[in-house]
Amino acid sequence: MKIALTFDIERDIPNFLDTDFGVKIGLIKILSLLDNFQIKGTFFCTGTVVEQQPRVVHLIESKGHEIACHSLNHERLNELTFEECKEIISNNKVMIENKCKNSEVIGFRAPYLKPPKFLFRLLNDLGFKYDSSISSRKKSLYYQMKNYKIQEFHPSSYYTFFRLPLSFYFIRKWIFKKELTILYFHSWEAIDIKRLILNQKSKLNLVKNYLFRLDRWINTGDLFITRIRKFIKEALSKKAEFVTLKQLTTIK
């Protein structure tokens, strides 16, 4: 049984909040947690984070984790043209590679797990070796994959369930029955998002995000870290192997 822990490093809840506490504080908590268990993860970084806080790349790389691309500013790539997407992802890749000392950047994940239909042609042109944007094999049928040497690692789009009270138990049981699971989290989940939402001046935003988007704030912060720690302990007790996506890549 293999498990890949992957984290999207982006501003706090893109297109809602314009803060970066998840990058400044949440990422440190996540890296510390992984250090405690001596396991490695894959971190998909936006260009905005890399440009504004270059220390992030250095910190992730110094801990021996994998660094990959996650667009420039968390754009909805499925709404853009081929050339627009190519420029965004190419710039993202260059930004990260310019900050890295030893890492080869070979992976990509589309924001919101919504890539454009031409994703694989684009990634092939830019020298990527894998993608982790399509949540199921069934959805892969929509994308033009066959003619391009890009490996797809399907992320489990159940990250919210890790924070919901009852489903945490059932999700764990499901994961431990699979040969490979790719888990998908965000740096902002490791901070208290509820507090940020309650501090919003806009009453409409407060109501919309507090009452109708529980997935954005429930069990974030220290509770999130506690749950991930509990999961890692249980997985290790069942002889699970934690891997990066680069380790799983077979395309040379």
* 3-state secondary structure (DSSP) of residue 133: coil
pLDDT at position 107 is: 98
How far apart are the C-alpha atoms of 87 and 90, rounded to whole Å? 5
* 3-state secondary structure (DSSP) of residue 124: helix
Strands 66-69 vs 130-131: parallel, antiparallel or unpaired: unpaired
pLDDT at position 210 is: 61
pLDDT at position 168 is: 64
Q: What is the pLDDT of residues 43-70, one digit of tens each?
A: 999 999 999 999 999 999 999 999 999 9
Q: Within 13 Å and on the Cβ side, how many CA atoms surround 63?
A: 25
Q: Which of the residues in the chain have pLDDT under 50?
A: none
Structure tokens at 6: 């992957």
How far apart are the C-alpha atoms of 7 and 189, rounded to whole Å? 10
What's the per-residue H, E or C state across 72-112?
Answer: CCCCCHHHCCHHHHHHHHHHHHHHHHHHCCCCCCCEECCHH
CA-based nearest residue to 69, from 50, 83, 54, 52: 50
At 201, the amino acid letter reads K
pLDDT at position 51 is: 93
* Residue 135 CA from chain centroid, whole number: 12
Structure tokens at 17: 């909040």
CA-based nearest residue to 184, from 4, 36, 30: 4
pLDDT at position 153 is: 95
pLDDT at position 211 is: 56
Structural domains for the chain: 2-192+220-248 (3.20.20.370)
pLDDT at position 135 is: 83
pLDDT at position 137 is: 75
How far apart are the C-alpha atoms of 217 and 195, rounded to whole Å? 9
Q: Record the pTM.
A: 0.93
